[in-house]
A and B are shown apart, each in its own frame.
Chain A
Amino acid sequence: MGSISLSSVRKSFGTTDVIPGIDLDIEDGEFVVFVGPSGCGKSTLLRLIAGLEDTTGGQILIDGKDVTAAAPAKRGLAMVFQSYALYPHMTVYNNIAFPLKMDSQPKDVIDRKVRDAARVLNLTNYLDRRPGQLSGGQRQRVAIGRAIVRQPSAFLFDEPLSNLDAALRGTMRIEISELHQQLKTTMVYVTHDQIEAMTMADKIVVLNAGRIEQVGSPLDLYRTPANLFVAGFIGSPRMNMIEGAEAGKMQAKTIGVRPEHIRLSPTEGAWSGTVGVTEHLGSDTLLHIDADELGPITARADGEFAVRSGQRIFMTPDRARMHRFDEKGLAIR
């Protein structure tokens, strides 16, 4: 069991309100991702749930029990840190065994659990090594191993992949998702990387300046962003935002269209512009187009799309997939 419920949780450091008040429910077994730009309070929120920071106000319930004032160890959670935070003076075996030793479990039980965890995470051959002798990916697996042996009610991940190189990040992403499918334990995952959020989450919580901008499934957020911030944050490359007369035609302050929802043609279309930089990604081509009075527009074409810099090009947005926003930046439905 591992449902987490926050009600008007506040946190201030001195006179600055980092989190002015958050209500959020995390269901048992859910994979929830907190995403947002740096400084948005997502890590602080996770540390409040963990108990590493004290709340300034509000209530935190885990499985219906009020843990607002409980010590981290009493909350039954496990955490994986960005820096891995392994104990450098202990072997991999002892690192993974540490939470069990703290729980005073019998030696044979500890041994069995550590070896099980090591097998799941492909660490069996490294049990006698120290963290300093491991690669980044292996260290991260040890940190995860240390978390899973306790069989916590929920896992907390604080940007666990940001110290890894891009290729390794891809594999670890899949490993963590597989782990979630195997264990079916609640996971709360903090990241600033919207690709990690989109690919791993059951539910994404978009945070900005300590406030929740929107909560929803990855595709919900992609299809129906609640406001300009979410529209700009979710999706890569980011949504094109157009203001002015063109937006006025659709009775909106701002209109948004994603690069993948623009049809390109060399001869005809609703808008026109001059091709600037083109990025060939193999499977796709990204075109950065100077669309005269509309401003710069990014469009996505297929990988074989033949285009030269400086060429005149015509664009037709997919009207059904366009987004309209009012003066306050809220979506008009």
Chain B
Amino acid sequence: MARATTTRSKITFTVVGWLCGLLLFFPILWTFLTSFKTEGDAIANPPYFLFFHWTLENYAEVQARSDYLHHFLNSVTISVGSTLIGLVIAVPAAWAMAFSPTRRTKDVLMWMLSTKMMPPVGALIPIYLIFRDWGLLDSRIGLTVVLMLINLPIIVWMLYTYFREIPGEILEAARMDGASLAKEIVYVLTPMAIPGIASTLLLNIILAWNEAFWTLNLSTSRAAPLTTFIASYSSPEGLFWAKLSAASTLAIAPILIMGWFSQKQLVRGLTFGAVK
């Protein structure tokens, strides 16, 4: 028999779920609302929620002061580029680790993950100097490579867990059926791994899109993505909250829309393997 409290606990869980959702969403909502306020209204105390003078002047000023499209294209190039290069490197790596593991495979995976545990600032000086000497500062290629390297452990780990779910016997069956390694990969492995590859791709584009530490430190204008664009509206003096909010809203809108349309894929990716 089902528990007697089913209905009540269902309501409780729904309410708690909504509260958590709203709590997480609130900063985005507040940024969005602030972007339509005047600078004065933006810092009013107590704050205005919905009843203020709605204006588009922040967006107009942001567009006039900086070239949104330029930063947007930089963001797209860097996030998509770093993810694609990362996949090209990570697919064979994850493949090898999942299907012909050695005694050291677990250690290699741990070591890769451990690089994510070091605070990035610890590597900033050497990387900055390398970039300066190689003329990579403020270049899209430089940022793409750095973001690719930063996210590579995550890409390998995600793909590794996906590939592990593919039964080895199916690959052996393909081998018995006369498939060469290339045909085995094209006809059997890739079609089975496509959902995993797709969600890895999506998640890493989002991570790279939002990455701020390296993009802020290694770019100024030419290669600057949207993170730098947002940061340029923060200033030590004067009122800037509304303009900053407008810039932020513009910066997160594309990735939010992409995430919305691919949420099914993403959720599957994040919970993959949790249940059979």
Contact = CB atoms under 8 A, between A and B. Distances in A.
B179 A73 contact: yes
A52 B170 contact: no
A83 B167 contact: yes
Contacts of A79: 172-173, 176
Contacts of B179: 73, 98, 102
Contacts of B167: 83, 85
Interface string A23-54: 00000000000000000000000000010100
Nearest to A99: B177
B188 A71 contact: no
Interface residues of B, number: 17
Contact of A85 (B170, B183, B187): B170
Given A88-B192, A89-B191, A102 B183 contact: yes
A89 B173 contact: no
A50 B187 CA distance: 21
A81 B173 contact: yes
A83 B180 CA distance: 22
B188 A87 contact: yes
Interface string A86-97: 111100000000
B177 A102 contact: yes
Contacts of A73: 175-180
B178 A102 contact: yes
A50 B176 contact: yes
Given A83-B167, A146-B177, A52 B172 contact: yes
Interface in A102-126: 102-103
A103 B174 CA distance: 12
For the residues of A in contact with B, the DSSP-based class is loop
Contacts of B180: 73
A248 to B, nearest CB: 51
A78 B176 CA distance: 6
B176 A72 contact: yes
A77 interface: yes
A81 B169 contact: yes
A162 to B, nearest CB: 13
A99 B188 contact: no
A72 B179 CA distance: 9
Contacts of A89: 191-192
B176 A83 contact: no
B272 to A, nearest CB: 15
Contacts of B183: 102
A85 B173 contact: yes
Nearest to B188: A87
A70 to B, nearest CB: 12
A86 B180 CA distance: 17
Contacts of A78: 176-177
Q: Which of B169, B176, B179 is packed against the most chain A CB atoms within 10 Å?
A: B176
B256 to A, nearest CB: 32
A75 to B, nearest CB: 9
Contacts of B177: 73, 78, 98-99, 102, 146, 150
B176 A87 contact: no
Given A52-B176, A85-B170, A87-B170, 12 more contacts: A73-B175, A79-B173, A83-B167, A87-B174, A89-B191, A98-B179, A99-B177, A102-B178, A102-B183, A103-B178, A146-B173, A146-B177
8 closest A-B pairs by beta carbon, nearest first, are A85-B173, A102-B178, A99-B177, A85-B169, A73-B178, A79-B176, A89-B191, A72-B175
6 contacts: A73-B177, A73-B180, A79-B176, A83-B169, A85-B170, A102-B179
